[in-house]
Amino acid sequence: MNSELHTHGHHPSTAYLRPRRAISEPPRARRAASSLLLLALPLLALLPLAGCSSHPAPEGADRHSGSAAATATEPRSLVLISLDGFRWDQLDFPEATNLRALAESGVRADGLIPVFPTKTFPNHYSIVTGLYAQNHGIVSNNMRDPELGEFRLSDRDAVTDPRWWGGEPVWVTAASAGLTTAAMFWPGTEAEIRVGRPTHWSPFDSDVPFSDRVQQVLDWLALDPDRRPRFITLYFEQPDGTNHRHGPESAQAHATIADVDARIGELLRGLDELGARQRTDLVIVSDHGMAEIHSERVVVLEDLAEFEEGELFESGALVQIFPRPGREDLLFDRLEGAHPNLRVYRREELPPSFHMAGSKRIAPIVAVPDVGWEAVRRSQKERMPDGPLGGHHGPDPRDPRMHGLFVASGPSFVAGARPGRFENVHIYELLCRILEIPPAPNDGDPGALSSILAPRASNPRARSAALERSRP
């Protein structure tokens, strides 16, 4: 789709930052090939199929029934889509017509429970590794390591350094099983983790139009079976940005939901034009939800304690404090219990539900505001207007406002399945089961989402290939 699309890929919660432009539009050759394929499909449909009945199809038959039969034995492709910051209940916005139709005919969760902290990078990486943040190492969007230094979303060297990225993301698991993979952006795909990056990848660029991202995925899915990626990621940094700026229930949020929903509609129409619905599974997720914030729900940290330079590493919906030598007890004693809407912990005493106490990359003192509250520096508070401040995420993942989206559709799923709410660490096992590849060690439950999976009897070729790969 551009001269820098690598074949062999990242982002804030506002989502990724903006590095160089990586993708603009598909190369002429690929776009021409796609066009020829689309023009040829009607003609191919008229040709007699060997071994098929010569009787005409019944009136009202699926116009893709021929291609569905032809692709029934082809390996399926799995597309994992992220709508950053899409809160679970935004699926019920009137504008989310395509997403809701997929959910109603496929799988819809009541909410996707993120890991702590409810930030973009930790949760995107938990989804593709099945690990809590303390176990995969991406403990926040910004963090410190005693050996590696600082990790910030704006630091390209850090984002592409594989030493930050622990665990095994699904594109690595798939590559180890001999599968072709592709990434239309996702946190972690720009780093050479273990065996490397996805087969096709690109550095994140927020300038790439969403429609171009969809087209790139469709171009990959139009490839011949022996070249077609079996696993693909597709990332959109909305509605996160709009939810941050205006709040998750604002008129602007409704308009943004309409826009990302239209892109899902483009993907579905493209799949139909390719006759690829019966060989493509879609898993649509978000990394976290969003809660409204207000100037009356702000804690000024300097009102509670005096900080020396460099001690306040992160503030807002999550506070990380790295005390200077000899000051940890002093700062903890000043902060603990100092405000009713701020929970303060030593690193080793973080709640077990956070799955974070064992990480050396989280700060020695962590302060977690109540959902809907911010804890900021005085200089930040002075720049805030009075009244609503938009939205935030980062605090306790148990709060439903922090819960994200999970919708799935395709031949691997049970139509109408409703799995309730579940943690996003279970998704990695689900993806591996769909791809029929052995998973790496992870924190998910292999049986947590079994009820949403259809039998694989309709795809014997893929099952046989998986068994062949798993043999010693």
Q: Retrieve residue 254's tokens.
A: 């409704």
Biggest CA-to-CA distance, the chain: 86
How many CA atoms within 13 Å lie on the side-chain side of 377? 14
Q: Phi, psi at residue 300, to the nearest 5°?
A: -95, 115
214 neighbors 357 (Cβ within 8 angstroms): no
d(CA 58, CA 135): 55
Q: Phi, psi at residue 382, to the nearest 5°?
A: -65, -25
How many CA atoms within 13 Å lie on the side-chain side of 369? 22
- What are the catalytic residues? 120
d(CA 412, CA 434): 7
231's enclosing H/E stretch is strand 231-236
Amino acid at 14: T
Q: Name the 3-class secondary structure at 33.
A: helix
DSSP notation for 441-460:
S-SS-TTTTGGGBPPSTT-H
- CA torsion sign for 153, 182, 125, 470 is negative
Q: Name the 3-class secondary structure at 196.
A: strand
- CA torsion sign for 61, 62, 66, 72 is negative
332's enclosing H/E stretch is helix 328-335
How many CA atoms within 13 Å lie on the side-chain side of 362? 28
Buried b (16+ CB within 10 A) or exposed e, 146-167: eeeeebbbeebebbbbeebbbb
410 neighbors 80 (Cβ within 8 angstroms): no
DSSP notation for 191-241:
S-BTTBS-SEE----TTS-HHHHHHHHHHHHTS-TTTS-SEEEEEE-TTHH
468 neighbors 75 (Cβ within 8 angstroms): no
Q: Retrieve residue 406's tokens.
A: 């999970």
**In a 10 Å sphere around its CB, with 0-12 CB exposed, 13-18 middle and 19+ buried, how is residue 193 labelled?**
buried
